[in-house]
Structure 1
Amino acid sequence: MGTFNYVNEELLSTDDDVLTVHVSDLAQIKNMALSSARGRARLCAHHNGGDPLHEMLIALVKDNYIRPHKHPGKTESFHMIEGRLMIVIFNDDGKVLQCVHLSAPTCPSPDEQAFYYRLAIPMYHTVIPMTEVAVFHETTNGPFRPEDTFFADWSPSESDDKSVQSAYIQEILQHSLVKSNN
């Protein structure tokens, strides 16, 4: 079991050079997400924001809102651990280009779904949890600089009213349903 440093209600970090994460650690991350104001929590396995490789175990609670964003110069990948997610990829004008459905191998899903995703070009995207809690391993290249993340101006801000965010998510989900039925 790793040694984790509590940073805030959404973040654990570690200084361990050899890190192992156990099922009980996942439970801790999920509980943090369930009790955090924004419905999310992460364990950063990298030592600091300047590291060239960033690995995080992330838990998102259903109805969580991640504003569509892109990261020029970054590649990211997700490997599902528990639950299901939908990653929505947009063009620069906000048109939905693709919906990627991810499911942990142990999570029952209506169809065979992928458990791994990789985005190698800077495209706007968002992540929508499809189960009460979704847990995944994200890998991306560092360093982390907030100014390198570009938020879509055609989407609600994370500071907007929850009802505005929820309506936007429902619109995306409806589009996904129509698209998958065609």
Structure 2
Amino acid sequence: MMRALIFVSLPQMNQSGDNAKGSAATNWSGSMDITVFSTNYLNDLAEQAAGSPRRRQNRNVHASYADPCQRMFNAIDPDSYLAPHRHSPLQGNETIVAVRGLLALVIFDDLGRISESLLIGAGHCSAREGVAAGADIPPLRWHTILALEAASILLEVKAGPFDPQMPKEVAPWAPEEGTPDAHRYHQSVIERIRQQFEWCERSK
């Protein structure tokens, strides 16, 4: 079940790790204190992802780890490998909504076999048959996200507060990020998804 999302104005975080330190979102000139996530805001994030060695970049909307609602934008390019992982029940569900481009949510069983896959997209991709706007992922489900189009962007929402001492659990059968095995594995999963959804090669 998808959740309604309300954006409120919060100062942008400057944390270590993957969180972007780019320009702040455009401020709305109306009477309310609202932050607008403009096209320039998304373009800037996509450019940072393209220039990152990991080929992805996230930017937090929440003000701190203590916030009860943790939300971020995540720009991902097709050659970015996110190791299959899962979250504990204490971390709760993870909601993802496509903001730009075309991506695939891939679910695995405990042995690392693909059990489910779902295309999620926005803009011109959203009109395709079988493309969802997003998904709500329960805890303990092994999963990864693949970008099938350059500069694809997700909005991710999780319950807070966030405990950095309780990170996501990477699948034991998943290759370590940055290794040759990871590159081969990533390409093989993308190829399987493209074969399943033949038209996604022509989605641009």
TM-score normalised over the length of structure 2: 0.76
Cα deviation digits, residues 14-61 of structure 1 (max 9, x gap): 7x9843211111111111111111111112111111222111111011
- Kindly tell me: are residues 39 and 180 of structure 1, through their superposed partners in 2, closer, same or farther at Cα, counting changes over 3 Å? closer
Q: Does 1:156 align with 2:150?
A: no
Is 1:176 paired with 2:193?
yes
The correspondence for 2:20, drawn from 3, 12, 25, is: 12
- Give the structure with the higher percent strand: 1
Change in 2 beyond 3 A, CA 1:33/1:116: same
Equivalent residue number for residue 62 of structure 1: 78
User: How many angstroms does 1:109 deviate by?
Assistant: 6.5
- TM-score w.r.t. the length of structure 1 is 0.84
Match of 1:118 among 133, 136, 150: 136
Give the match's secondary structure for 2:125: coil
Percent pairwise identity? 22
Inter-partner Cα distance in structure 1 for 2:127 and 2:184: 25
Q: 2:61 touches 2:71 (CA, 8 Å); kept in 1?
A: yes
Q: What are the residue-to-residue correspondences of 1:95-114 with 2, within 5 Å?
A: 95-107=113-125, 111-114=129-132
Secondary structure, aligned partner of 1:107: helix
On the 8 A contact 1:9/1:41 being kept in 2, the answer is no
Q: Say yes or no: does 1:134 pair with 2:134.
A: no
Q: 2:20 corresponds to which letter in structure 1?
A: L
| Pairs aligned (count) | 178
Which sections of structure 2, spanning at least 5 residues, go unmatched? 1-8, 28-32, 199-204
> Among residues 47, 54, 62, which one is paired with 1:46 in the alignment?
62
Residue 158 of structure 1 aligns to a residue whose secondary structure is: coil
Structure 1: gaps of 5 or more residues: none
Which stretch of the first structure deviates more once superposed, 142-151 or 26-35? 142-151
Find the counterpart in structure 2 of residue 33 from structure 1. Answer: 49
Deviation at 1:144?
A: 2.3
Q: Cα RMSD between the aligned structures?
A: 2.7
CA gap of 1:177–1:38, structure 2 versus 1, over 3 A, is closer
Q: Is the 8 A contact 2:75 2:153 kept in 1?
A: yes
2:4 corresponds in structure 1 to none
Q: Give, in whole Å, the separation in 1 of the partners of 2:134 and 2:34.
A: 24
Query: 1:88 and 2:96 equivalent?
Result: no
- Residue aligned with 2:131, SS: coil
